[in-house]
Structures are given as structure tokens and as C-alpha cells.
Chain A
Amino acid sequence: MTHLHEAKIKQLEETANQIRQDIIEMLVEAKSGHSAGPLGMADVFTAFYFHILNHDPQNPTWAERDRLVLSNGHICPVLYATMAKAGYFPREELKTLRKFGSRLQGHPHRPWLPGLETSSGPLGAGLSQACGMAYGALMDKKKYNVYCLMSDGEQDAGNTWEAVLWAGKNKLNNLTAIIDRNNIQIDGMTEEIMPLEPLRAKYEAFNWHVIEIDGHNFAEIIGAVEQAKAIYEKPVLIIAHTIPGKEVDFMEFDFKWHGMPPNKEQATEALKQLRTLGGKIKSEHE
């Protein structure tokens, strides 16, 4: 496991907290959109854009950049908030989420926003595209890595498993997929809607190397990606166990928040919790 200085971890945690605040502010302004997934994945996105990815926000079409493919496009508020924070576009633009004429479409639309690797929303399609990008890199002997972020709900989709099978066959060692294992989907708990377990064994049976982590622990997130780089014979899946709605207590673990934005009062309460780190510190407003 990579050794990360405590100061670096602290810095990443602070960044993730600010991204969570931006997510709440975007959603309350947009009046529609998904809350639970974006909050749950804020730490993973922060780890990628502020530590793992080899990228240049000033040059988003740089040919050698690592590719991050978001398959479950509905959690795009966290992608947009993280990209803005990383410098891809001005933070003020976050308020245009889901509004007419905005580059921040309700689900990502690649041609309109530099830095997006694909357009997504319909579930189960991202891994195929990530496989294509990874294979293209191997054909051209390029060194970049391809990361595909997926939801657990889209493991229901046949298209996902077509790609899982194909990646295993082709030993895509430059491909790492991350599943946001938060156990919820729109209609309820994943294990009630369509049981996925044993998820790890399924991927292993398809010739993937699987790592399971706490998706809110930066040392584990970064360490797992480092480990993935060292696995040469297989594509790697990181199952990131996350808490949906993380750090807003009334959203945590509640599938109702999968596809719902907070109203003004709820947003105020959520922001208060985030700014005080759940009451551990006093907010500047108090």
C-alpha cells in the first residue's frame, strides 16, 4: 500500500468535503437530480482528480492523459463539482447544472464539455467504451490507464457483462473498473431488486482481479489503484464499499435519496453538517 503523508490525506479529505458542499448547492439550485450517489462517491472522485489521474485540466485533449469513464452518468454532479475544483471550468458554472443551454447536462454530454471522456446515463454502457479505449491504447502502445466508474445497480445490465467477459478475454491490464457498492438503486436495495452477491466471485470467474476497499478511506482508494497498476495479467475491479449520501445524516443509507435533490431547508441542514464536519467543529456562521 502506498504511503501517504497524513497531511496529504487531510488535504484530500478537505477537498472532498468542499466538493460535497458544491454538490448540495448544485442540486438545490437545479431542483432535480441525484443526491446519494454523488455524495457517496465524492472521496473516490477526489482521490482520482487530485492524486491518481495523470491529467491536465488546461489541456483536456492531451493524448497521453489517463481516461476516466463515468458509466453511471446520473452521479455527474460529483464529476462536475470535482472537475470544476480541478480547474476544468469555472466553479460558478456549477449553478447551471440541468439548466437550458448549460454545458452541465443532466447526464454528461461529451461534445459540449471538454474533459468528459464520454456521454452516459443509460446504464451498462460505460465499461464497453472503457474497454475500447484500453484496447486502443494497447494497440498503439500508449502508456495511459483507463478507469471506469460504475454503479452497483448497472451490474443488472447484460451489456455490462458482455464487456466484463471481453475484458477478461483480452487481459486488459491498463483497465481498472471501480464499482460504487452502495447497495441502493432507484427502486430499493440492490439485494432485493436483483441480488448481485457474490459479486466478487462473479468477476473473478470472468478472469478479473478483484480488490475490495472502504470507498471513503483515501489510503485504501489510492493503494488499491496502485496495486491495480501492478497486476499485469488481468483487468482489475475495485469494489468500493460506500455509504450513499455520505456525511449528510438524513440521506445516508436511504434509497429514497437516490434520485432526489434536497429542498432549501434540507440543503441548509446538509451544508451545516458538512461545514461542521457533523458537529465536530463549529461552523464559521455560528
Chain B
Amino acid sequence: MPINSNAKLNPNLFDQTKVEQKPSRFGFGQGLVLAGEADKQVVALCADLTESTQILPFKNKFPERFIQVGVAEQNLAGLASGLAASGKIPFIASYGMFSPGRNWEQIRTTIAYNEVNVKIAIMHAGISVGPDGGTHQAIEDLAITRVIPKVVIINPCDYIEAREATLAAAKHPLATFLRFHREPTPVITTDESNFEIGQAEVLFTPKDNRKVDVVIFACGPLVYRALLVAQELEKQGLNIYVVNNHTIKPMDEKTIIELAKIAGAVVTVEEHQIAGGMGSAVAEILARNYPVPIEFIGVHDKFGQSGLQDQLLDYYGMGVADIKEAVKKVIKRKLKI
């Protein structure tokens, strides 16, 4: 198996009947409780979405450290800024469309520019939020947060990594965005897996390291689809790396350049507009350091609509078939150079 054994992934990963499915937002909920136990300064603020954002377990455990803000996301950000200036470690959570969608300037000026340590949980990210439709599908949030200096942005790939990212964020000195998803998705990592902010993890290594065809950089639950593609194409004789590129900022430039040099072709996979997201960040790094052909998997300049998770991901270009096609296309482009 070319699964990287160092990554200590779920042994049932490719057994679709056995692999456990859990929403990454639940990992945030659990991680927040653990962070609250570890540090009394951790407080949580919510804008009338306590249960769906999974702030609820923290609220139940630490009611005196929970702050209800009502439907007022600009105030949510400003209050957190003031609390952080008073020595607290505030976590704020709302749907991505509202935070950072509605309060971008407050986050930019009163948190990032003001250099106070607030943790911003972006919930219900991506198109997979499903039946709520286009108004609630945050597929622009990475683009609008990635351009803010002095922040960290993480899009964990599953429930366990979501928990670890939340714990790591609580200890990090910079304002941090954490991006989570609503629907259950496969649990890829285990309690033994490594998670470090800013360090991309190689999950899948090619059989033949001397003839690598492509490297796939993925983030969020779509990492799973990238792994399925690698497993299948490996059987057809392709040599593929799959990297969990969970930290969008600061991105692990070293790993990205190193593997792009080895592979000579890149596919990026994310649940976001292809403009301005994780793939764009990879492209910026490679354009400056080692240009190679890149194909981008994500939403191609469209708004979403109501539907089911898989249905929407497949329709908007993030299906397993789309990733496979992108791999084949980018290899062809590489050969032409």
C-alpha cells in the first residue's frame, strides 16, 4: 500500500463499508471543550447558531465562559477583539457566509491589523452544506481571508484533524481561521496522526519514487477523494503523491516546491472557488519558485444551489471523475513541455 505509513492513517480508509463518517465541525466542538479545559482564558462566542456550530458542548461545560451575541456578526468580531485585548482567547463561530462574510472589515481591522488573538471558526464551509442552497454555501471565504496579513488559516481534512487544529489554534499567538464542514465525511486520520500548523502531510506516496507523474495538493474533506483517485490510478500504473495541504496560511512552501520538482505536475483539490483559494496559493508559490503545469479542482466561478453533498460536489466539478481527469490532463500538459 502506498499510503504513507508515517501518516498513521485510518486502516479502514479504503473500505467504504467500514470507514467512519463524522462531520469535521464535531471535531471543532470536541477540540473547543479540550482547549477550554486546558486554558481558563478560552471563551466562546456565538451568533445564534450554538448547536449547529458545535459551540454547544463548550457552552454546556463552561456556561460562564459562553457569550451569546445574537444575529450580529460584526459585533461578534468586535466583542472578540475587546475580549482578546483583555487577555482572553476568544473563539467565535458562525457560518462562513456571515463570518467572515459579513464582518470581514471588523476582522481585518480590529483583529488582524490590531494584532489581537482571536480564533475564527468558519462553519458550514463549502458547497457540501447542501439543501440550504447558494445563500449558505461559503465558497469564497479562503479568498477573502488569505489576503489578510498576520493570520493563520487551516482547513482540516476530517473530524480528528479538526479537533487537533482547534487545540493547536488555541495555543497559537496569531489570529487563526479554522474552516469546517457541516456534513459527515470519512475519518481519514487517527489519534496517532501528526498535525502541525504550517506543515503539509504526505498521505500517499508513489510506488516508484524515480518516476513520479503528479502530486495532488488537497485540503478539507476532499482529501479523501484525492486519496481514492490516487489508489485507483496507481493500479493503472501512475505514480502519485497526495498531500494534505491543511494550512492555507502560512503555506508549507518547502514541501510544495520539493514535491513539484519531483513530480513536474500538480493538481490542487479544494471545496472553494478556484479563484483565490488554496490552489491559487500553491500556484503563487510555484510561479515564483518552480513553474509546472497545474490543474485546479474546485468551483469554477459559479454559485451553488440546493442539493445533497455528493450530488453538489460532483455537479460543480469536485467529483472523483473530475480529479482523475485533471490528473490525466496535467500529465499530458507536462509531456508537451
Contacts and interface: CB of A to CB of B under 8 A. Distances in A.
A143 to B, nearest CB: 13
A159 B109 CA distance: 14
Given A118-B114, A165-B70, A128 B81 contact: yes
Given A110-B115, A139-B64, A166-B70, A117 B75 contact: no
A159 B70 contact: no
B70 A122 contact: no
B75 A119 contact: no
The 8 A-B pairs of least Cβ separation, nearest first, read A132-B82, A128-B78, A136-B86, A162-B75, A162-B72, A129-B82, A132-B79, A159-B74
A135 B75 contact: no
A131 B82 contact: yes
B86 A131 contact: no
B105 interface: yes
B151 to A, nearest CB: 14
Interface in B77-95: 77-88, 90
B67 interface: yes
Nearest to A166: B75
A242 to B, nearest CB: 25
Contacts of A158: 74
A137 interface: yes
Contact of B110 (A125, A135, A136): A125
Nearest to A71: B78
Given A119-B109, A119-B110, A158-B74, 4 more contacts: A136-B83, A139-B65, A140-B87, A166-B70
A121 interface: yes
Nearest to B73: A162
B20 to A, nearest CB: 38
Contact of B88 (A134, A136, A165): A136
B74 A129 contact: no
Interface in A112-128: 117-122, 124-128
B315 interface: no
Contacts of B80: 132
Given A128-B106, A139-B64, A119 B83 contact: no
Contact of B78 (A111, A132, A134, A136): A132
24 contacts: A119-B113, A128-B79, A128-B110, A129-B81, A129-B82, A131-B79, A132-B79, A132-B80, A132-B83, A132-B86, A133-B82, A133-B83, A136-B87, A137-B86, A140-B87, A159-B75, A162-B70, A162-B74, A163-B78, A163-B79, A165-B70, A165-B72, A166-B69, A166-B70
A130 interface: yes
A91 interface: no
Interface in A52-95: 63, 69
Contacts of B82: 69, 118, 128-136
B77 A128 contact: yes
A109 B113 contact: yes
B110 A129 contact: yes
A158 B78 CA distance: 13
Given A109-B113, A139-B64, A117 B78 contact: no
Given A162-B72, A163-B75, A122 B86 contact: no
B84 to A, nearest CB: 8
Nearest to B82: A132
Contacts of A166: 69-70, 72, 75, 79
A60 B115 CA distance: 17
B177 to A, nearest CB: 19
Contacts of A165: 70, 72
A109 B108 CA distance: 13
